[in-house]
Chains A and B, each alone.
Chain A
Amino acid sequence: MNADDRDLLHVEFCGMPFDSPIVLLSGCVGFGEEYTRVAGFSNSEVGAICLKGTTGENRLGNQPHRVYETPGGMLNSIGLQNPGARYVVDNILPKLDFSETRFIANVSGSTVEEYVEVTRIFDDSNIDAIELNISCPNVKEGGAAFGNDPDMSARVVAAVRAATRKPLITKLSPNQTDIAENARRCIESGTDGFAVINTLMGMAIDIEQRAPILGNNQGGLSGPAIKPVALLKTHQVHQVARKHGIPIIGQGGVTNANDALEFIIAGASAVGVGTALFYDPLVCESINSGIADYLRRHQLSSIAQLVGTLELNSAISACDVCVE
């Protein structure tokens, strides 16, 4: 990233300085060092990295197959494989280079108590922020079971809020009736930011075996196929969150600068990149430069000036759009 771009791409997110609006998404980049295996890739190209979902105890995760390409995207069902929060804090965080980017823990659990326990462990570390994963579709307990119920979401957020003073970002599920209402409840309970959205639940079938391809039968759909859904959800959450100055990481199918700009215009202050890394591990560089070019072309001096600048047609809210 050149110095001119760096000035333009700077973002403040929940009080954290990001060198770029790009956030690498939990579950796509392991525990922060994995993509640095690729020559030419640098963690300093991105504003923040969300670490793999972490629970109280280590988890083996789901049986293979765990990933499968689908039209315009992919299904995954990893099942929160992780070595447990204590191990992450004691053995992984000390090896990360915090001068390169911000690192965000992704806190997961089966019970409210587990979310709190994991949050406390990370609170007592040098992690930059906590992302609350109440939307993982690939575990039987916790995850989306909490995130799809506004009452439960509010309970988890309130309990975790009381356990940390670090920035708290709540990752919302698209698999629910009213994401805006859920967002409102999470704000009341003390969230500092949102990540919108997690994956959509889906399935792939092997017609010869007449069996699901994924070991867990179902999984989360990501990639360009879900981008329109993610954009609408980002817009809907922004309608609620902007009144409270709560920022959003918009995510779902971002593969290039134009996609990222759509999310920013819809209301995202930062933009998540996940599946696109699997297509092109060096994609962040071109997203950064594409965003910077757009800002220059539109004579904008910061990303903040572009956030939520969507101008809706007439008086119809996108929330009311109906196909009937």
Chain B
Amino acid sequence: MSNESKPHRGTIHVESAKILSHERFPGDQFVLRVAAPECAAKALPGSFVHLRTDPMLRMRRPLSIMRVSATEGWVDMLYKVVGEGTRLLSARQEGETLSMMGPIGKPFVAHPERPRALLLGGGVGIPPMVFLAEHLRRTGGFDPLVLMGSEVPFPFRARPSEIIVPGVPDGVIAAMPLMEDWNIASRLASLQGYPGVFEGYITDLARAWLKALSEEQRTQVEIFACGPHPMLAATAMLAREFSLPCQVSLEEFMACAVGGCAGCVVEVQEDNGPAMRRVCVDGPVFDASRVFV
């Protein structure tokens, strides 16, 4: 049997990834850039990596990818310290290497017939939305809106947006600088009262935008989301309210990350009933209507 009939083979690379930079942000957040050319060349928005955070901790930890440069061979990740693995990772220094597997998982798939891509990223769910936004910009033909929520300070210095977004309340002008540079509309949401940031849930901000669109414009919307479970549940409800397709990226405790152990499953509703699907290789991106029923 030839490998042509086994396209899955050899798609995940194990690389000794040198840390190129490791920047700390308030709220125990870090942006990590590593050299990993194989992963950088093949990753797509929604892909994640599985890395050995420290030689003392043998199980790997999954982290979503925020940006890649295929030409320069680097991969960026944004993470927040939430446990032992990420705590040890946060102590790793520039110049050290990490064993990293990637890229892993089924990516987000945007559809040209729905160019108004609505990207929602909450907390450490922000990175795949940055990746998707950059990807859509490169692909062309899309007019995305990126909304980001965080209850700790955002891992970037927000700046006033020069891009008008319909439906957004007056004064909600804070945007992610990278998105402004890319000429992509973005806005921020938080309950913490940060200046220029929408005070409320990200889904409420999204609803305000959707309501401001014409019916015809709304038929061009597709939602993409990554973030905490309650945010994704609210996003799935929002999608249902407006009859919009919605893809969500999920996370779960993970062991192998190649589909071998079935440790990272999520229950989804399929046409013939409930099924347990692996977040690592069946996901991490799922149709929201199958997960939040």
Mark A residues whose CB is within 8 Å of B.
Answer: 27-30, 33-40, 52, 60-61, 63-69, 74, 76, 78, 81, 95, 97, 99, 223-224, 275, 277-282
Contacts and interface: CB of A to CB of B under 8 A. Distances in A.
A279 B263 contact: no
B78 interface: no
A37 B10 contact: yes
A60 B273 CA distance: 11
Contacts of A64: 252-253, 264-266
B260 A39 contact: no
A287 B52 CA distance: 20
Contacts, number: 116
Contacts of A282: 14
Contacts of A35: 256, 258, 260
Nearest to A43: B9
Contact of B259 (A37, A40, A66, A275): A37
Given A36-B9, A74-B255, A30 B262 contact: yes
A279 B99 CA distance: 10
A277 B60 CA distance: 11
A65 B59 contact: no
Interface residues of B, number: 38
Closest 8 CB pairs between A and B?
Answer: A67-B263, A34-B260, A39-B10, A69-B59, A34-B259, A67-B255, A279-B58, A29-B260
Interface in B24-83: 38, 52, 57-60
A37 B264 contact: no
B261 A78 contact: yes
Interface in B207-260: 252-256, 258-260
Contacts of A281: 14, 101, 256, 258
Nearest to A72: B58
Given A35-B260, A281-B14, A60 B274 contact: yes
B181 to A, nearest CB: 34
Contacts of B275: 60
Contact of A66 (B1, B5, B14, B265): B265
20 contacts: A28-B256, A34-B259, A35-B260, A37-B258, A37-B281, A38-B10, A38-B13, A38-B101, A39-B13, A39-B38, A40-B10, A67-B264, A69-B58, A74-B59, A76-B263, A81-B276, A95-B5, A224-B58, A278-B58, A278-B255
A282 B258 CA distance: 13
Contacts of A38: 10, 12-14, 101, 258
B9 A37 contact: yes
A74 B57 CA distance: 11
B276 A39 contact: no
A117 B234 CA distance: 45
A60 B8 contact: no
Nearest to A66: B263
A187 B276 CA distance: 37
B183 interface: no
Given A40-B14, A66-B265, A33 B6 contact: yes
Contacts of A74: 59, 255
A39 B254 contact: no
Contacts of B256: 28, 34-35, 277-278, 281
Given A76-B263, A279-B58, A33 B8 contact: yes
B11 interface: yes
Given A33-B8, A78-B262, 14 more contacts: A27-B262, A30-B262, A34-B259, A36-B10, A37-B9, A39-B12, A60-B267, A60-B275, A67-B255, A67-B264, A69-B57, A69-B59, A81-B276, A275-B255
A76 to B, nearest CB: 6
B260 A78 contact: no
B106 to A, nearest CB: 12
Contacts of B264: 64, 66-67
A281 B58 CA distance: 12
Nearest to A77: B263
A100 B12 CA distance: 20
A60 B276 contact: yes
